[in-house]
Amino acid sequence: MNLERLFSGRTKTMRPSEIRELLKLTQNPEIISFAGGLPNPSSFPIDEMQNVCIDVLKKHGKLALQYGPTEGMRPLRNSLANRAKKEGIDASSDNVLITSGSQQGLDVLGRVFLDPGDTIIVGLPTYLGALNAFRAYEVNFAGIPLDKDGMQVDLLEEKVKELNKKGVTPKFIYLVPTFQNPAGVVMPESRRRRVVDIANEYDLIVIEDDPYSKLRFEGDHIKPIKSFDDEGRVIYLSTFSKILSPGFRLAWMIASEPLIRKLTIGKQALDLCTNTFVQFIANEFIEKGSLDLHIMKIIEMYRPKRDIMMESIKKYFPSDTVCHKPKGGMFAWATIPGPIDTEEMFLDAIKEKVAYIHGKAFYVDGGGANSMRLNFSYSSNQTIEEGMKRLGKVIERKLKEAAAQ
Ligand SMILES: Cc1ncc(COP(=O)(O)O)c(C=O)c1O
């Protein structure tokens, strides 16, 4: 059988994710992995979840085990709209679409907005999973460099102008403004307002992807970009993956009603509806007041992990390593000046039984060669220091080898 003849043009251009292949190498339990974006499994509220499951089955069994509407179950949409209102987002349940993970949300956004050849704007660096979701729609990326305050909005405006001059109107700007994946940085309010102004002026959609803002270890909460949106241009995404369980595959989007209607149609053919049982479980967890308590526990668990990682960078990495201390989230982003290619170094690190994700994976312009993303949430406190020590040795060796050449 000639499979190649049968595959669609789109499938023929699909490439296996190199990162997935690399991550397979990290499955060995002897490897200390800073690679994945995994929550710490000891944070999962397993005992409490048992009771919540029983309560849901008793109270809502017939609905919870049935198909549900594509938009999601009304009680959960209501709870999420109420939580959003506390952050200054003007939303009712009609503005909420439940998705099977934010990853599905990103794919739905691609389906609804993107034609082959369209241009979208992303950060340099940005979340790899979003790049993969949008790549499937055969788009062009325009990258905007980040600094310690996230996407540089002056450069954003310049880029939009430059594209407009060439007759290109980008469809949307994708950003992760709080505890960015991978760079860990936070965009201040002034920049958030500016993003909305630019979107209004140049007629763009803004996709605000926000899995991490609740995981703040210190400093004041900054309102989401969506809260400054006065024209219904911002689509806000968040997820239960990092604050409760990624296994739930449960997330949500908040947008204007016309957009929610289109996005719902976009999602319909993907899964009919998101797992109904899990929607009831999550809502019960919120209504009992358990979610906020749980988030506080995660914060207390992750803060010392972040501290150990930062201290280890000082202790074991070259003294000129640049790594801004993240005030929340799950990632540190380290850049090592000098002749280091973190992609090339990866197999050396695996030999030393430690893993990370190399910087280039997060760039659409080939940048990031001497950076790496280090996850601190997954490993135990003891293994973080040991893993960083191993990584420090690998870097030292690489730099010596380069100096000798
Ligand atoms: C920025 C960002 N967006 C989306 C996702 C996907 O989240 P979910 O598990 O809800 O699909 C992740 C997961 O790591 C992420 O970091």
Q: For residue 106, which atom of ligand 1 is closest to its CA? A: 4
* 137 and 254 both lie in a single domain: yes
Q: Are residues 150 and 192 in the same domain?
A: yes
Measured in angstroms, how far is the CA atom of residue 211 from the centroid of ligand 1? 6
CA of 344 from ligand 1 middle (Å) equals: 26
pTM: 0.97
Q: State residue 67's pLDDT score.
A: 98
User: What integer is the mean pLDDT of 146-166?
Assistant: 98
Compute φ and ψ for 360, nearest 5 degrees.
-60, -25
Provide the pLDDT for residue 366: 95
Report pLDDT for 12: 75
Band the pLDDT of 181: cuts 50, 70, 90.
Answer: very high
CATH number at residue 160: 3.40.640.10
Per-residue pLDDT at 32:
96
| Alpha carbon separation from 304 to 94, 301, 311 (Å, rounded) | 39, 7, 10
Sheet with 205-209: strands ordered across: 96-99, 251-254, 234-239, 205-209, 172-175, 119-124, 140-147, 150-151
Please give the number of the atom of ligand 1 that sits closest to the Cα of 99: 10
99 plus 28 within the same structural domain: no
Query: What band does 9 get if pLDDT is binned at 50, 70 and 90?
Result: confident
Total domain count, the chain: 2
pLDDT at 267: 97
330 and 253 share a domain? no
Residue-range definition of the domain harbouring residue 210: 46-290
Model confidence over 192-238: pLDDT tens digits? 999 999 999 999 999 999 999 999 999 999 999 999 999 999 999 99
So what's the pLDDT on residue 74?
98
Query: 294, 280, 347: which is closest to 61 by C-alpha?
Result: 280
Judge whether residue 4 has pLDDT over 90. no
Mean predicted lDDT score pLDDT of the chain: 96
40 with 87, same domain: the answer is no
How many Å separate Cα 8 from the centre of its chain?
29
Q: Are residues 82 and 96 in the same domain?
A: yes
Tell whether 40 and 50 lie within a shared domain. no
- The domain boundary, picked from 290, 322, 357, lies at 290
Token digits of residue 221: 């909460």
Distance CA 245, CA 239 (A): 9
The strand ranges marked E within 231-338 are 234-239, 251-254, 331-335
Q: Say if residue 74 is in the same domain as residue 94.
A: yes
- At 13 the pLDDT is 72
Q: In this structure, what token pair is assigned to residue 397?
A: 């060796």
Measure 118 CA to ligand 1 centroid, in angstroms.
23
Question: Do 212 and 348 belong to one domain?
Answer: no
**CA of residue 309 to ligand 1 center, whole Å:** 22
Q: What is the pLDDT of residues 385-394, one digit of tens each?
A: 999 999 999 9
Q: Calculate the CA 227 to chain-centre distance.
A: 20
CA distance 169 to 164: 6
* Domain end call among 266, 290, 314: 290
Which of these three, 290, 313, 335, is where a domain ends? 290
Q: Atom of ligand 1 at shortest distance to CA of 251?
A: 10
Residue 107 CA to ligand 1 center (angstroms) comes to 12
Q: CA of 307: how far to CAs of 124, 251, 269, 311, in Å?
A: 25, 29, 44, 6
205 and 327 co-located in one domain: no
Q: Render pLDDT for 46-102 as a digit per residue (tens, 0 to 9).
A: 999 999 999 999 999 999 999 999 999 999 999 999 999 999 999 999 999 999 999
**In this structure, which residue's CA is closest to atom 7 in ligand 1?**
102
From start to end of 269-360, where are the E strands? Answer: 331-335, 354-355, 357-358
Locate the ligand 1 atom nearest the alpha carbon of residue 242 and give its number. Answer: 9
- Cα of 165 vs centre of ligand 1, distance in Å, is 34
| pLDDT tens digit sequence for 336-345 | 998 899 999 9
Residues 132, 13 share a domain: no
Ligand 1 atom nearest to CA at 105? 11
pLDDT of amino acid 162: 98
Asked whether residue 53 falls in the same domain as residue 82, the answer is: yes
Given a cut of 80, whether residue 280 has pLDDT beyond it is yes
What are the two backbone dihedrals, phi and then psi, of residue 334, each rounded to the nearest 5 degrees?
-110, 135
Q: Helices marked H in 210-275 — which ranges?
A: 257-271
CATH of residue 37: 3.90.1150.10
Instruction: Look at residue 140 in the predicted model and tell me its pLDDT.
Output: 97
Q: Which of 122, 241, 270, 275 to mutate to test the pocket of ligand 1 (most atoms within 8 A of CB)?
A: 241
Q: What is the pLDDT of residue 28?
A: 87
Selection from 338, 337, 331 nearest residue 356 by Cα: 331
Calculate how far, in angstroms, residue 308's C-alpha sits from the geometric centre of ligand 1: 24
Contact 200, 218 (CB under 8 A): no
Q: Which residues have any ligand 1 atom within 6 Å of their CB?
A: 37, 101-103, 127, 129, 176, 181, 209, 211, 239, 241, 246, 251
CA atoms of 19 and 293, how far apart (whole Å): 34
Strands 140-147 and 119-124, bridge-based pairing: parallel
